[in-house]
Amino acid sequence: MTSARAFAFAILLSLPGCALRPMYAGGASGPVATSLGQVAVAPIPGRGGWLVRNALVDRLGGEHRSSTHRLEVELDDDISSFGIRGDRSVTRERRTLRARYRLVEVATGQVVLDATAGSDAGIDVVSSPYATVAAEQTALERLATMIADQMVGRLALYATNRPIAR
């Protein structure tokens, strides 16, 4: 056995003793997936809110009639211009989407998790206003997905330490 293989074998033997375990162990019936399935997403105003809510519902396992927790989200969507030419026309924009979200126990109204998520995207401003608007909308769709992924990841981490489902 070469020294590299012996080292790899020694590493593999030491892994069962470590405290790492898969977050989504058990698949759809595992404790984290079951916990996430108990979270209802409150309506979020605006087009960005609609996109974020749909992404969250998809990732949390769909709509449920009886949930133990509710996710409340407030969005801040901003487009700022930079990259100004000599003729004062804009060449670049930055779309920033930030979310403050709270996980609330339905039975007690107690906030058990209060966190933020956010991301931004650069947009080229071109001579066609339609193309620029389309790029802004595409950026919003992409940012909504990224924000939802961040929130679900944080909720899953919370659920590994304190199961939501009862």
Indicate whether 91 belongs to any domain: yes
pLDDT per residue as tens digits for the range 43-99: 999 999 999 999 999 999 877 667 899 999 999 999 998 877 778 788 899 999 999
Angle at alpha carbon of residue 111, lines to 105 and 112, rounded to 5°: 80
Question: How many independent structural domains does the chain possess?
Answer: 1
pLDDT per residue as tens digits for the range 83-107: 777 787 888 999 999 999 999 999 9
Residue 130 sits in a domain whose CATH number is 3.30.160.150
pTM equals 0.79
Indicate whether 131 belongs to any domain: yes
Indicate whether 8 belongs to any domain: no
For 70, the token pair is 């509710």
Indicate whether 10 belongs to any domain: no
Indicate whether 166 belongs to any domain: no
Indicate whether 103 belongs to any domain: yes
Domain that residue 97 falls in:
23-161
Indicate whether 2 belongs to any domain: no
Indicate whether 17 belongs to any domain: no
